[in-house]
Structure 1
Amino acid sequence: MARIPKETVDQIIHLADIVEVVGDFVTLKRKGQNMWACCPFHHEKSPSFSVAPAKGLYKCFGCGKAGGVIQFIMDIEGTSYVEALKYLAKKYGVEIQEEEKTPEEQLIQNDKDSQYIVSNWAKDHYHKLLTDTDEGQSIGLSYLRQRGLNQQTIKTFELGYSLDQWDDLLKSAEKAGFERKYLEKTGLAIERKDDQGKDTGRRYDRFRGRVMFPIHNISGRVIGFGARTLKANDKSAKYLNSPESDIYHKSDVLYGLYQARQAIRNEEVCYLVEGYLDVLSLHQGGIRNVVASSGTSLTESQIRLIGRYTDNVTVLYDGDAAGIRASLRGIDLILEGGLNVRVVLFPDGDDPDSYIRKVGDQRFKEYLDSSSQDFISFKTNLVAKEAAHDPVKKAEAIREVLQSIAKVPDPIKRQVFLQQTSGTFGIDEQVLITEYNKLVKNSSGKAAGGTPPSSSNTAARPASSPAPTRGPQFQPELSPEDEAAMYGATEELFGPSAADATAADPDAEPVPDVLQACEREVVRLLLLYAAQPLAEDISVAQYLFSQLDETPIRTPIYADMLHLCRQEMEQGRWPEVRTFIQHGRGDIRSLVSDLATEKYELSPNWSTHQIYVPRELDQLQQACDNAILRLNKVNVQRELSARLDSLREPLDEETLMETLHAVKLLKQMDDQLGNMLGTVIPRGA
């Protein structure tokens, strides 16, 4: 597999200026040491998005997005770590010479590249047939005009037309120099077989006499096609899609996402429809944040794609009750993924495409606003109506709603939904909570024998009690860490992950919050002030490491961070924010951005008015001493607590005396550390 050499990665990171890169997307204004703007990731009136040029990082104090220049491109473009590197390489003129591939790897890459190339050529060919041929204009273009689509929409989505001939594409492709095997691998051509199912050696076009809808991946490359027949007496399927291929996996693709991704981020909601024309009509009507599942059941991969850009999904249904019922499971998947789901139901006989053409753009938008309801309420009302006069069906309907509520990771939302369900069905809320806990317990029990349960169903708990909240935003199909590893960012470069360290010891004792806070403070001082000298003519990094020599760091992410800092110093470099903010591991980038950003800066006017405010930089020795002392005190108190607990158990005389002696020494150490920190009041005071 191809790898980007580490030297090239380092060069890209060195050249990439975060102010320049971020400035391509927002207008930055200087205030103090940092640059500020309204956040590009959420709507706001007052700027809360900060860029720190000296540290090479950005932070939004409104939505919490933070990181370095690579992370910014990943966030703003919805790309992977490697794709962000390539984006920056192109911007700064860095040539990426991938390390030599094996013959097998080169063959695979060449094969996929050829499929991309022939798919793009086919898209251009179909588009030209639509606009430049008599058949394309009279049939294909006439149909699109009839559906209300204008030239700009046709151009934006690169629509086309396939001639009603057996081998137009085949002949044109061969004339252009393309090999037949790539037309077959992408599904553009089909082999003809005889009555016994044997290959006759003849080929023909898959798409004939159809309007063509190119399907793009998130980077804008054409990977497949959807096609609608325009023949009134055609016995084949109305819509025909490209088959699965090396470059096209329908469960990983949403139609229109390439064109909609920025609008989804700006509007903070994604409208989910079913068909190609729904997307096209809404996009043309000014609703750009719309995508389609293209008639397939919604998949987890598609939900992860949406999650790159927003936490909010609104599903647009036509009035077909059977279709709604069939789609409920897909929406449960969206809930389980931690996204907020709302529903808009159109009048019977209408779908999004027909309704926007019927009422116009403005009234359609007003309908979306007035008719939108949260999914749990929608489902509750739907099943309650179906089971209105049947007690058995009503009980099953309640369980069906509870199963959806159990998919919601947020405990507060679950509590609200349980209250709403209680009111709709006229059932005591405590009864619902009891039944909810049974469902969760059963699902957890089943998961214990197979796949681990989801974060929303890990324990049978009252709906009002704490539960794990949703973790990081949905990642691409391949996580940045995994993809970075594919490109040479191995453990030798990035170190083992905190998740790996935890997984290696699943029975490890949880780290208390107070201990995590103390360890975090040590890491923060080390990261921000590593090279700063202290009173003893020693650097902060050297001093902290000397004091930590015998002190275990129990929080995996902080232990990883200290290990990486040691590696930097062993290689003759000071640990720096600018280095780690570009790290291949997402948890490291997130930690560094949190530790290195400050929401407020002292006004320069304070010094003008001779108001002196001590800076941490001027009191580093005290800050480092206090951090080490607090960490040691917490560790001593943990050990003391463990010894005292052991005294509750039967002990032989020798062990008892040893334990009592240890308790005495630990109490003395705790008092001494308290005195040094000024947290202990001397006896008699």
Structure 2
Amino acid sequence: MARIPKETVDQIIHHADIVEVVGDFVSLKRKGQNMWACCPFHHEKSPSFSVAPAKGLYKCFGCGKAGGVVQFIMDIEGTSYVEALKYLAKKYGIDVQEEEKTPEQQLAQNEKDSQFIVSNWAKDHYHKLLQDNEEGQSIGWSYLRQRGLNQATIKTFELGYSLDQWDDLLKSATVAGFELKYLEKTGLVVRREDDQGQDTGRRYDRFRGRVMFPIHNVSGRVIGFGARTLKPNDKTAKYLNSPESEIYHKSDVLYGLYQARQPIRSEELCYLVEGYLDVLSLHQGGIKNVVASSGTSLTDGQIRLIKRYTDNVTVLYDGDAAGIRASLRGIDMLLEGGLNVRVVLFPDGDDPDSYIRKVGDQRFREHLEGASQDFIQFKTDLVSREAAHDPVKKAEAIREVLQSISKVPDPIKRQVFLQQTSQEFGIDEQVLITEYNKLVRNASGKSPGGQSSSGSGAAGGYSGGQQAPSSGGASPRPAPRPMSPEEEAEALMYGASPEDLMGGGDLQTLTREDLEPVPDVLERCEREVVRLLLLYSAQPLAPEVSVAQYLLEQLEGTGFKTGLYADLLHLCREELNQGRWPEVRTLIQHGRSDIRSVVAELATEKYELSPNWTTHQIHVPRELDLLQTACDNAILRLNKVNVERELAVRLEALRNPVDEASMMENLQTIHLLKQMDNQLANMLGTVIPRASM
């Protein structure tokens, strides 16, 4: 397999801005020194995903995902380290010189990479046929021009054409050296079956005589295809999509999102349409913040994709009443996902594609602005028209609107919608609130006296006005749980007093077991030293003495027992020996995933000091101001734990002495170790008094 030279890797990492890269996938907002967003790796409604620009890393405090810019691409794309580097190189215009690879070598990479490669090749094949092949030009190109699409749009979305032949793609891919199994896994080629459903071993192209719409993921890689037949009276489906595969999950894809993600972020609005041509026509008309569900019912995965970039979505409907009715559930899901939803209707017989071609770009924009209305208002108007003067239907219509309101997670918005609905239907607000609470209780499966659930989609209930007063006194503080022996040992190591651990009173005499350190304590001490090395390596402690130099000098001759921290300590020494500071930005890109993970853990903090302390002139010491103390304490604690470990070994040896000489030697060593332990305890301020015998 080809190798990317280290110099090129360093260049890629140097140029890759983690805020820019992550910002391509989520909408980041600054809070303090870091940037925050809802995590792209798991479903959440409150941002716990943090990006630290100064350190070049990201960290989710919800699911635990963490790493540098290369790791982020690996996580978001599910791709290999090498492919992530290539992605960043392409983004920043860095030429990657590799050894020549045959198609077989390319496909020797992991299964997903192989499917990405063959999908990208197929996209280029179809695009070339559209532009250069006689059939592609006379049929495919003519159709696209007839739909009003220009060369720029066709190129931007990489549209193509599949020849009306059984095996054009199959033959071309075979000549190019691609393995049949990847053509089948991506759905480009299908195995033929006989009349009894038995596999005949013969294969044919899935897409034939169709205009091809490549489907991209959010980073621009082709993962599948949509295809429209151009044959009149064709008995097959008008549109045919790629089947599900390792790289294509239609429930997690929105057509056009790759091209629309930046406009959505800048406009703070996403237009949601149904079909490929709706996206293409609007994009060509200058409305670039538009995506399509590609004819599928809206899914939670698609909603989460939209929410990465904006909280505002406007759904564009044609005038078909039956279609609108069928789509209401999808809009309820948008509300439940925490999005602000508006709706725009078009005249009967028109969809976004036909309407913009009919009236032009400017009038289409004017229609979007003038016809846009809040979804709750839209649904209220729709169901109230259908109910007319029928009281029974009107009651059902009100319940339908309340059902949508119950999906809104924001309690203030829910209250506003309830007030608005009360006015629209002329129903007392308290009656609506009572009915609303019934719906919520039924949705959560609680009895009338129980609390309603807000975790399964139904929002919390209302009391209908003033909240009930509290019983008066403050809630009793729960009793602290007892500390485990491990936690006690750690607390003592970090300076807790005996009273902190035991609630006052006399201490018992320390035994050999008391002196034996818990392994976790040693690991945490080593972890703390590595943390200081990574975060403050270049910070000066004294003239011409940095934190890294000081700590590594103090650790000379001390071996770490935890393998991962020993490796990190070695890497720090190597960096310093080569004239570089051991920094987070460098080590977060390491080839080993466990090292990337622990570096991210050590370098991220969930909370930042509020600027209000400075505003009110309250000085709060920072770790940076107390580096000498922090470094000294870290070394002292580590030394103390190592002394205690050795002391425990010597005490154990006394139980089974080999001879009197070895016993005397052990006693002398124990005496020295106890002296050292007491000295270290004094220096740390953690002397533990023994109870009187």
Q: CA deviation at 1:368?
A: 1.1
**Higher Cα radius of gyration:** 2
SS in 2 for 1:330: helix
CA deviation map 1:187-238 (0-9, x unaligned)? 1122222222222222221111110000111221111111111112212111
In the alignment, the residues of structure 2 paired with residue 392 and residue 585 of structure 1 have an alpha-carbon distance, to the nearest angstrom, of: 62
Q: CA deviation at 1:511?
A: 11
Question: Counterpart in 1 of 2:242?
Answer: 242
Aligned partner of 2:75: which letter?
V
In the alignment, the residues of structure 2 paired with residue 341 and residue 170 of structure 1 have an alpha-carbon distance, to the nearest angstrom, of: 45
Question: Counterpart in 2 of 1:306?
Answer: 306
Identity among equivalent pairs (%): 62
In the alignment, the residues of structure 2 paired with residue 64 and residue 447 of structure 1 have an alpha-carbon distance, to the nearest angstrom, of: 34
Cα 1:406–1:70, aligned 2, differ >3 Å: closer, same or farther?
same
Q: CA deviation at 1:417?
A: 0.6
Question: Counterpart in 2 of 1:291?
Answer: 291
In the alignment, the residues of structure 2 paired with residue 429 and residue 564 of structure 1 have an alpha-carbon distance, to the nearest angstrom, of: 61
CA contact (8 A) 2:193 2:199 kept: yes
Question: Counterpart in 2 of 1:71?
Answer: 58
SS in 1 for 2:358: helix
SS in 2 for 1:203: strand
Within the alignment, does 1:592 sit opposite 2:585 as a pair?
A: no
Root mean square deviation, CA, Å = 4.9
CA contact (8 A) 2:35 2:50 kept: yes
CA contact (8 A) 1:568 1:574 kept: no
In the alignment, the residues of structure 1 paired with residue 86 and residue 498 of structure 2 have an alpha-carbon distance, to the nearest angstrom, of: 40
CA deviation map 1:519-552 (0-9, x unaligned)? xxxxxxxxxxxxxxxxxxxxxx999942588769
Q: CA deviation at 1:186?
A: 1.5
Question: Counterpart in 2 of 1:497?
Answer: none
In the alignment, the residues of structure 2 paired with residue 290 and residue 76 of structure 1 have an alpha-carbon distance, to the nearest angstrom, of: 28
Within the alignment, does 1:169 sit opposite 2:118 as a pair?
A: no
Within the alignment, does 1:573 sit opposite 2:532 as a pair?
A: yes
Q: CA deviation at 1:598?
A: 3.7
In the alignment, the residues of structure 1 paired with residue 279 and residue 492 of structure 2 have an alpha-carbon distance, to the nearest angstrom, of: 61
CA deviation map 1:115-171 (0-9, x unaligned)? 222111111110000000111111111111111111111011000001111111111
Question: Counterpart in 2 of 1:276?
Answer: 276
SS in 2 for 1:389: coil
Within the alignment, does 1:546 sit opposite 2:546 as a pair?
A: no
Q: CA deviation at 1:402?
A: 0.8
SS in 1 for 2:532: coil
Question: Counterpart in 2 of 1:373?
Answer: 373
Q: CA deviation at 1:595?
A: 0.8
Question: Counterpart in 2 of 1:347?
Answer: 347
CA contact (8 A) 1:444 1:459 kept: no
CA contact (8 A) 2:272 2:290 kept: yes
CA contact (8 A) 1:67 1:590 kept: no
Q: CA deviation at 1:79?
A: 6.1
SS in 1 for 2:445: helix
In the alignment, the residues of structure 2 paired with residue 230 and residue 261 of structure 1 have an alpha-carbon distance, to the nearest angstrom, of: 30
In the alignment, the residues of structure 2 paired with residue 359 and residue 563 of structure 1 have an alpha-carbon distance, to the nearest angstrom, of: 73
Aligned partner of 2:400: which letter?
E
Matches within 5 A, 1:486-525: none
Within the alignment, does 1:454 sit opposite 2:455 as a pair?
A: yes
Cα 1:442–1:175, aligned 2, differ >3 Å: closer, same or farther?
same
Question: Counterpart in 2 of 1:219?
Answer: 219
Cα 1:58–1:305, aligned 2, differ >3 Å: closer, same or farther?
closer
Q: CA deviation at 1:418?
A: 0.6
CA contact (8 A) 1:411 1:465 kept: no
Question: Counterpart in 1 of 2:191?
Answer: 191
CA contact (8 A) 1:227 1:240 kept: yes
| Count of aligned pairs | 491
Structure 2 unpaired stretches of 5+: 1-5, 38-46, 60-65, 97-105, 468-473, 481-489, 502-520, 537-582, 589-595, 630-693
In the alignment, the residues of structure 2 paired with residue 590 and residue 511 of structure 1 have an alpha-carbon distance, to the nearest angstrom, of: 37
Aligned partner of 1:309: which letter?
Y
CA contact (8 A) 2:315 2:344 kept: yes
Question: Counterpart in 1 of 2:136?
Answer: 136
CA contact (8 A) 1:313 1:342 kept: yes
Q: CA deviation at 1:588?
A: 8.0
Question: Counterpart in 2 of 1:149?
Answer: 149
SS in 2 for 1:308: helix
CA contact (8 A) 2:277 2:353 kept: yes
Within the alignment, does 1:124 sit opposite 2:124 as a pair?
A: yes
Cα 1:321–1:150, aligned 2, differ >3 Å: closer, same or farther?
same
Aligned partner of 1:460: which letter?
G
In the alignment, the residues of structure 1 paired with residue 610 and residue 372 of structure 2 have an alpha-carbon distance, to the nearest angstrom, of: 38
Cα 1:363–1:175, aligned 2, differ >3 Å: closer, same or farther?
same
SS in 1 for 2:495: helix
Q: CA deviation at 1:411?
A: 0.5
Q: CA deviation at 1:599?
A: 8.1
In the alignment, the residues of structure 1 paired with residue 447 and residue 180 of structure 2 have an alpha-carbon distance, to the nearest angstrom, of: 47
Structure 1 unpaired stretches of 5+: 1-7, 27-39, 43-47, 96-105, 467-508, 516-540, 553-561, 603-611, 625-685
Matches within 5 A, 1:22-41: 22=19
Q: CA deviation at 1:90?
A: 4.7
Cα 1:265–1:567, aligned 2, differ >3 Å: closer, same or farther?
farther
Matches within 5 A, 1:381-530: 381-445=381-445, 454=455, 457=458, 459-462=460-463
SS in 1 for 2:117: helix
CA contact (8 A) 2:119 2:186 kept: yes
Cα 1:148–1:464, aligned 2, differ >3 Å: closer, same or farther?
farther
SS in 2 for 1:573: helix
In the alignment, the residues of structure 1 paired with residue 285 and residue 353 of structure 2 have an alpha-carbon distance, to the nearest angstrom, of: 10
Q: CA deviation at 1:366?
A: 1.8
Q: CA deviation at 1:22?
A: 4.9
Question: Counterpart in 2 of 1:331?
Answer: 331
Cα 1:65–1:248, aligned 2, differ >3 Å: closer, same or farther?
closer
Normalised TM-score (structure 2)? 0.61
Cα 1:600–1:570, aligned 2, differ >3 Å: closer, same or farther?
closer
CA contact (8 A) 1:285 1:361 kept: yes
Q: CA deviation at 1:70?
A: 2.9
Cα 1:597–1:300, aligned 2, differ >3 Å: closer, same or farther?
same
CA contact (8 A) 2:453 2:460 kept: no
Aligned partner of 2:58: which letter?
Q
CA deviation map 1:442-476 (0-9, x unaligned)? 11117999x9852653643337689xxxxxxxxxx
CA contact (8 A) 1:59 1:597 kept: no
Higher relative contact order (CA 8 A, sep 6+): 1
Normalised TM-score (structure 1)? 0.61
CA deviation map 1:547-575 (0-9, x unaligned)? 588769xxxxxxxxx99986632657379
CA contact (8 A) 2:409 2:459 kept: no
Q: CA deviation at 1:83?
A: 4.6
CA contact (8 A) 1:149 1:281 kept: yes
Q: CA deviation at 1:59?
A: 7.4
Cα 1:22–1:597, aligned 2, differ >3 Å: closer, same or farther?
farther
SS in 2 for 1:546: coil
In the alignment, the residues of structure 1 paired with residue 603 and residue 464 of structure 2 have an alpha-carbon distance, to the nearest angstrom, of: 30
Aligned partner of 1:67: which letter?
V
63, 71, 82: which one aligns with 2:75:
82
Cα 1:211–1:456, aligned 2, differ >3 Å: closer, same or farther?
closer
CA contact (8 A) 1:283 1:289 kept: yes
CA deviation map 1:231-277 (0-9, x unaligned)? 12212111111111222111111111111111111111111100000
SS in 2 for 1:140: helix
Q: CA deviation at 1:307?
A: 1.2
Matches within 5 A, 1:49-64: 57-58=34-35
In the alignment, the residues of structure 2 paired with residue 550 and residue 574 of structure 1 have an alpha-carbon distance, to the nearest angstrom, of: 33
In the alignment, the residues of structure 2 paired with residue 616 and residue 21 of structure 1 have an alpha-carbon distance, to the nearest angstrom, of: 30
CA deviation map 1:269-296 (0-9, x unaligned)? 1111000000001111111111100000
Aligned partner of 2:51: which letter?
G
CA contact (8 A) 2:440 2:459 kept: yes
Aligned partner of 1:592: which letter?
E
In the alignment, the residues of structure 1 paired with residue 236 and residue 606 of structure 2 have an alpha-carbon distance, to the nearest angstrom, of: 56
